[in-house]
Chains A and B, each alone.
Chain A
Amino acid sequence: MFGIEDTYVSLAYLLCILSALLCVIYGAINWNRGDEPVDSADVRWATRQQQETTEEL
């Protein structure tokens, strides 16, 4: 495969390409998934950040 006779080295060469493809495919399938709704903890965090900023300014 790829002009490389050693099975383990040609396997490594192939796995490098396949693992990069796996990342692309997984990322493409889940492109719009994983967005999380804003919950009360986020609101508290944002309020605290805003308060800190106001105090710093």
Chain B
Amino acid sequence: MHLAQSISPLEVVLTLLYLAAVAFLGWLGYQRTKTTADYLVAGRKVHPFIMSMSYGATFISTSAIVGFGGVAALFGMSLLWLTFLNIFVGIFIAFVVLGGRTRRMGHRLDAHTFAELLGRRFDSRFIQVMAGLIIFLFMPLYAAAVLMGGTEFLATAFSMPYVVALLVFGIITAIYVFFGGLKGVLYTDALQGSIMVIGMLFLLIWAYLSVGGVAEGHKELASMSDQVGAMKAIGHRGYTATPTFGWGRPADLKPGMPSPYDMWWIVFTTIVLGVGIGVLAQPQLVLRFLTVKSGRELNRALAIGGPFILLMTGVAFTVGALSNAYFFKHEIVRGQLVSEMPADVIIKKVPGKANQTAQYTLMHIDTDSPPDGKADVDLIRPADPADVRVLDDGRVEVRSRASSIRRAVGSV
């Protein structure tokens, strides 16, 4: 079977164990759900550990780790300002200033959903219906992005067709949400949050060890400021530097050219402020405040939530940026060059039109020792000639830097 050929037995066992645990927790939620309040706000008696892990795991979705981790690899460590806002605004301000009030209000008004909370607070059926409608219309967009992240992982890790992975992921989630109610969701969130903590701790330690330590890794990354390539035109000054700041467009800039201040505005207004403050209004997070009994549980959950977010986005953004140094140090391909040929590579898919392509040179390399004459690694020839060296024994050494393909695209 295709699935069994592509993954190890240990991975199959671990995946089955995980699915069994999720199924059990969904069943536990189902068993403990007796009333409407149990189903919608988990009976308002959730343990602070479960509440904080669920808040964190809901807060930090696929987009925050996979998506913004990739953005950090591109833009660098200035994205850590977003982590600061995630913790200070998304956790501290949310729990200390808003959480207690929201919880009390929700309790007194007997609200079970975000829309019901708003509707009862302002005594307006219109506000309740509108809030429900807005969530109903726009939340699927966010849910779709999260589903896509999980599906991409399943499809890649288990070599499954995309549609099958999407169905498997969607059906499992739907079952425990539908039958387990919010209790089932909170229990599975707590399990997923705990797994995420272990994974991110491992990733952080492994990444820093790979680049020679904290200060060494950062220095290595700083020395790669020349690797940003075409991004320099929009103000990229290196992976450990803040982008160039300025207002408007410089007077001497030619028409059609990007502004050297573009990146600063993208990073700090769209990403840091947009995502960092916007989190306070997310209904799925506000709902978590309604699940605890008193302010004491919120105080206890706060002590867990802060370090949790540091371990999530803090690690994702740091490791994302450090990946540039990692690839530079470790991803070196050595072998016999079998052939080189020009190839058209799709660099942008344009719906309804022909794909935008660029011509590159593909290198086919035999890395076997002794060489058997068959290429086993195919890669795009880096744009910088210094990244390809011919060794004394006739083999080639290619530094396939993380930025090399991007630089090649940028240079077209």
Point out residues on A near B: beta carbons under 8 Å.
2-6, 8-9, 12-13, 15-17, 19-24, 26-28, 30-36, 41-42, 45, 48-49, 52-53, 56
Contacts and interface: CB of A to CB of B under 8 A. Distances in A.
A28 B298 CA distance: 11
Given A3-B219, A33-B299, A53-B34, 19 more contacts: A2-B218, A3-B216, A3-B222, A9-B77, A9-B78, A9-B80, A12-B78, A16-B84, A20-B309, A22-B306, A27-B306, A31-B300, A32-B296, A34-B100, A34-B295, A34-B298, A36-B104, A42-B107, A53-B35
Given A20-B306, A24-B306, A31 B214 contact: no
Nearest to B108: A41
Contact of B214 (A3, A12, A16, A30): A3
B35 A23 contact: no
Nearest to B222: A5
A30 to B, nearest CB: 4
Interface residues of B, number: 49
B92 A19 contact: yes
Contact of A35 (B81, B215, B296, B306): B296
B35 A49 contact: yes
B240 A23 contact: no
Interface of B: 34-37, 76-78, 80-81, 83-84, 87-88, 91-92, 95-96, 100, 104, 107-108, 110, 214-219, 222, 240-242, 294-307, 309-310, 314
Contacts of A41: 108
Nearest to A45: B110
A31 B39 CA distance: 28
Contact of A27 (B76, B81, B84, B299): B299
Contacts of B297: 34
10 contacts: A3-B214, A5-B241, A8-B81, A8-B242, A15-B88, A21-B306, A24-B303, A26-B96, A28-B303, A52-B36
B40 to A, nearest CB: 12
Most buried by A among B78, B104, B218, B295: B218
A31 B309 CA distance: 20
Please report whether the interface of chain A is mostly helix, strand, loop or mixed according to DSSP.
Answer: helix
Please report whether the interface of chain B is mostly helix, strand, loop or mixed according to DSSP.
Answer: helix
A28 B295 CA distance: 13
Nearest to B214: A2
B214 A23 contact: no
Given A16-B310, A45-B107, A56-B35, A6 B240 contact: yes
Contact of A23 (B80, B108, B307): B307
B36 to A, nearest CB: 7
Nearest to A42: B107
Contact of A12 (B81, B216, B295): B81
A28 B296 CA distance: 11
Nearest to B91: A23
A10 B246 CA distance: 21
A31 B81 contact: no
A27 B178 CA distance: 33
B303 A6 contact: no
A27 B304 contact: yes
Contacts of B87: 16, 19-20, 23
A12 B80 CA distance: 6
The 5 closest A-B pairs by CB, nearest first: A23-B306, A27-B303, A34-B295, A3-B215, A3-B218
A28 B48 CA distance: 13
A36 B294 contact: yes
Contact of B295 (A16, A36, A48): A36
B314 A23 contact: no
A32 B298 CA distance: 10
Given A16-B87, A35-B295, A53-B34, A26 B214 contact: no
A46 B165 CA distance: 43
Most buried by A among B35, B37, B306, B314: B306
Contacts of B110: 45, 48
Given A4-B77, A16-B80, A34-B295, A22 B219 contact: no
A10 B301 CA distance: 28
Contact of B241 (A9, A13, A21, A42): A9
Contacts of B35: 49, 52-53, 56
A5 B223 CA distance: 11
A31 B64 CA distance: 29
